Structure 1
Amino acid sequence: MDEIHSTLFDDLADSMGELGQANREFAMSFPGDRPDRQPIHTVYGGAQLFSSKTTAKLGQLALASLNRYAPDATTFAAALGLPTDGDLATQVYERVRARLETEPVEDFRIDFEDGFGVRPDPEEDATAVRAARELAVGMREGTLPPFVGIRIKPLNDEMRRRSIRTLDVFVRSLLDAAGKLPDNFVVTLPKVPIPEQVTALVNAFEHLEHKLGLPDRSLRLELMIELTQSLLDARGYCVLPRLAKAAEGRCVAAHFGTYDYTASCGITAAHQRMDHPACDFALHWMKVAFAGTGIWLSDGATNVMPVGPHAGKPESLTAEQERENRQVVHDAWRLAAKHIRHSLENAFYQGWDLHPAQLPVRYGMTYAFFLEGFEAAAERLANFVEKAAQATLVGEVFDDAATGQGLLNYFLRGLNCGAVSMAELGVTGLSVEEIRTRSFARILRGRGAVG
């Protein structure tokens, strides 16, 4: 066969050079998901209530709720709407209990906004100092969750001075008491309609870092998407990419504020819920704007609390009162379970929890989501890798090369949240080293399946 020659690429050197630059700029803007662990929830609590023992106390209360209202796997599965027969119920229950005993809270936000309210300046100052000192105690005693931070007030005209003052007082007090920031510390900025507010917070970060001797870019932020104007500006342009750009690489995550957003849409309180179509619209807009950027996404919270109408320990209540309590708690659990599954099915792997009795549901539904399809997905991935990425048919499911990364992402998310262990992923046919690459294409290249 005669040798084939082509000079077209070289003939288009200028054009190809411009294309190469554009491709590199695109890759910088969309680097893909970060390999870091993402928490599956953020627990919010008023700053006035925070102490170094808060997360341990939340775990104790969560376990007490589980013991009281779901003392066995069957009861728990039924309350969440999961199958009560088979191994899934037992697997989920045992892993939830173990998590509540060892690491009940993954991420906690000390709240100076809605959870704290508007108070006199001296009171908020004093609370910021006290909360910062408690955080420092938690750092020394090892009682903090893996992720922690504060939510300041909005940077609108009414609150901007108070918001920046609280940030300043808190960070200074924390450094005075601890000498450094805790791991994975973040500042949450609520109700952000314009990028100029993000720029102002970044400027405040830079000033604090310089003045207090913090490493550059050590202060990071989260955006809260809670207003219709956070999606679309007065000119009809999408605001979200501009908010992220204004953060100058400091934006860790974007969190959706269910109830402020639905209120900004004019939806009445009785119909404000996490799975409202208005929320789905905003969440998918967030997904489109931030996909591939490395910015984590979080859904909001179920606002129906799993708290029975009758206060007191079981022994102080009548059987009917305890039955009514259990029914109310189970109804709230079932609603939260529905909302969490809705989030997970739409690739929102993080949400908010507002009460310790919500923690069993958060872990239970997240674990169930990844465990219930584990065997089928493992078979698909193992078969697909074995066939070196050729299109394959497993049962009624057709897989091609585009599916490989999606299957791998499923297992990576399950590993991230603790639903499965690295050892359990061995059934996929992948080695620990291959799984840690987080890239299906790299796995295939390593096996010589693709050039």
Structure 2
Amino acid sequence: MMTHGRAPVHTVYGGAHLFRADAAQKLGGLALRALEAYAPDASAFAGALGFPGGDDEAFATAVYRQVLEKLRREPVEDLRIDFEDGYGVRSEGEEDGHAEAAAREVARGLGLGSLPPMLGIRVKALTPELCGRSLRTLDLFLSTLVEATSGALPMGFVVTLPKVSAPGQVEALVDALEALERGLGLQAGAVGLEIMVETPEAVVGPDGSLAARRLCAAGRGRCAAVHFGPYDYTASLGIMAAHQRLDHPACEAARELLQVALAGTGIRLSDGPTNVLPVPVHRVGGAAAGAAAGAVTEGATLTEAQVEENRGAVHGAWRLHAGQVRRALTQGITQGWDLHPAQLPARYGAVYAFYLEGVPAAGERLRNFLDRAAQATRVGVVFDDAATGQGLLGFFLRGVAAGAFTEAEALRWSTLTPEELRSQSFARIVGARR
């Protein structure tokens, strides 16, 4: 059984035909250019995202600095090389060539140390029409990669299977992975898998039971995450395109059922993408103004009204994206998709603001709780009991994992010891303090 390791705050999807060894660095560069063009300082960024506390200059500056540092140091946490929707339908020979080329680029990135911390590929669905093509791409990619690296794989490498509707599809992928691992001399279980839930059948089974747990069980210990695909899902329910959105009530219901199905399994749930992209409406010489062009160049070639309209479009998309990231975090879903480099500032800004703004209250409640030896307590009008204590501890653990603050900062704010924080168990902390 594979270990699920680090939990990323996002997964970035990009077409396999575009992947290069330095893709993460290029995406980070484009994200920084978008930030420079449309939010050149902390005040502008806070105003664009509209996060609570944004009118506090020190708070806004702290968030902005962390976003800048993140985009320079590690702009992408998890990248999926896409042979499905982000790639499209191509000739057999063309997809063969792209599978091999992408694998060689991964091998090159592995040697250069330029790959993001987590990486994988998304193959086509294992439907009768696409199964052969999907498994051939998987075979070509893994065979080429293993040959180029003398058997090395990126740490935590996964294969994402889209449009899963039955356990048999997951079992077929596992069978293929087992055969490839044997044939290529890889350790058994070296390749993990992820399941994409994009149909009602993958949420609720024909007998009324929660289907996602059975789908994950079919992965025979390889399943690291379930990714929710909101647009295929809403389309399958007959919801018209104009009303298909990430926060549609039908999506809310599906996510809640998926959370229940995955509770206690250690398998992550990832939210889907915001499909309104932060791109300008006016262009300069055929190139996008903003994400691909700085504010100075834009101002020199566009009218003042056009520049302002571009800024409004990007800020509106950022605010929508940040709001949907925040909604997911309040619901306990800490991962989502990003589709465009200019979405990265909003993703990280929303994540960091969420955790940093919650530190004072969470720290006070946890300290008060521990000071009274975990008896039920009240801070202000909020009543806390032992179950809440685990949630408060989880807040600090998730904040550290998301990069919103360091472990040292979490220890200072919570008054925990390193051993207590790393225990991840509130009951154990209380028991040791008695």
TM-score (norm 1): 0.90
* Cross-structure match for 2:37: 68
* Cross-structure match for 2:11: 42
* Cross-structure match for 2:288: none
8 Å contact kept, 1:35–1:438: no
Question: How far off its partner does 1:37 sit?
Answer: 2.1
* Cross-structure match for 2:206: 234
* Cross-structure match for 1:430: 416
Find 2:103's aligned residue among 108, 132, 155.
Answer: 132
Q: Percent identity?
A: 56
SS at match of 1:254: strand
Find 1:159's aligned residue among 127, 130, 153.
Answer: 130
SS at match of 1:167: helix
* Cross-structure match for 1:440: 426
Find 1:346's aligned residue among 327, 331, 334.
Answer: 331
2:159 is the counterpart of 1:178: no
Which region of structure 1 is more displaced relative to structure 2, 87-96 or 283-292?
87-96
Find 2:315's aligned residue among 330, 336, 339.
Answer: 330
* Cross-structure match for 2:386: 401
Question: How far off its partner does 1:85 sit?
Answer: 2.2
2:301 is the counterpart of 1:316: yes
- Provide the C-alpha distance between the structure 1 equivalents of 2:178 and 2:252, rounded to a whole number of angstroms: 35
Amino acid at match of 1:409: G
- Provide the C-alpha distance between the structure 1 equivalents of 2:260 and 2:428, rounded to a whole number of angstroms: 25
SS at match of 1:373: helix
8 Å contact kept, 1:240–1:289: yes
8 Å contact kept, 2:46–2:55: no
- RMSD (CA atoms): 1.3
Paired residue total: 416
8 Å contact kept, 1:44–1:354: yes
Q: Which has the larger radius of gyration?
A: 1
* Cross-structure match for 1:19: none
| CA distances 1:145-202 after superposition (whole Å, capped 9, x unpaired) | 1000000000011100000000000000001111211011110000000000000111
- Provide the C-alpha distance between the structure 2 equivalents of 1:54 and 1:334, rounded to a whole number of angstroms: 26
Question: How far off its partner does 1:237 sit?
Answer: 3.1
- Provide the C-alpha distance between the structure 2 equivalents of 1:160 and 1:235, rounded to a whole number of angstroms: 27
2:337 is the counterpart of 1:365: no
Question: How far off its partner does 1:35 sit?
Answer: 8.2
Question: How far off its partner does 1:429 sit?
Answer: 1.1
Amino acid at match of 1:291: A
- Provide the C-alpha distance between the structure 2 equivalents of 1:41 and 1:63, rounded to a whole number of angstroms: 17
- Provide the C-alpha distance between the structure 1 equivalents of 2:4 and 2:390, rounded to a whole number of angstroms: 14
| CA distances 1:222-276 after superposition (whole Å, capped 9, x unpaired) | 0000001111233333311110111111000000001111111111111011110
- Provide the C-alpha distance between the structure 1 equivalents of 2:101 and 2:371, rounded to a whole number of angstroms: 58
SS at match of 2:40: coil
Find 1:146's aligned residue among 89, 97, 117.
Answer: 117
Question: How far off its partner does 1:373 sit?
Answer: 1.2
Which region of structure 1 is more displaced relative to structure 2, 314-323 or 340-349?
314-323
- Provide the C-alpha distance between the structure 1 equivalents of 2:4 and 2:349, rounded to a whole number of angstroms: 24
* Cross-structure match for 1:94: 65
SS at match of 1:66: helix
- Provide the C-alpha distance between the structure 1 equivalents of 2:319 and 2:413, rounded to a whole number of angstroms: 32
* Cross-structure match for 1:113: 84
For the structure 1 residues 35 and 440, does the alpha-carbon distance in structure 2 shift closer, same or farther, using more than 3 Å as the test?
Answer: farther
8 Å contact kept, 1:255–1:298: yes
8 Å contact kept, 1:41–1:106: yes
8 Å contact kept, 1:378–1:428: yes
Amino acid at match of 1:360: P
8 Å contact kept, 1:110–1:151: yes
* Cross-structure match for 1:6: none
8 Å contact kept, 1:217–1:250: yes
Amino acid at match of 2:131: R
Find 1:58's aligned residue among 2, 5, 27.
Answer: 27
* Cross-structure match for 1:298: 270
SS at match of 1:203: helix
8 Å contact kept, 2:13–2:80: yes
Gaps of 5+ in 1: 1-27, 29-33
Amino acid at match of 2:125: P
SS at match of 1:372: helix
2:267 is the counterpart of 1:282: no
Amino acid at match of 2:50: G
- Provide the C-alpha distance between the structure 2 equivalents of 1:369 and 1:319, rounded to a whole number of angstroms: 34
8 Å contact kept, 2:4–2:267: no
Find 2:364's aligned residue among 343, 354, 379.
Answer: 379
| CA distances 1:60-86 after superposition (whole Å, capped 9, x unpaired) | 000000011001111111111123322
For the structure 1 residues 215 and 355, does the alpha-carbon distance in structure 2 shift closer, same or farther, using more than 3 Å as the test?
Answer: same
Amino acid at match of 1:390: Q
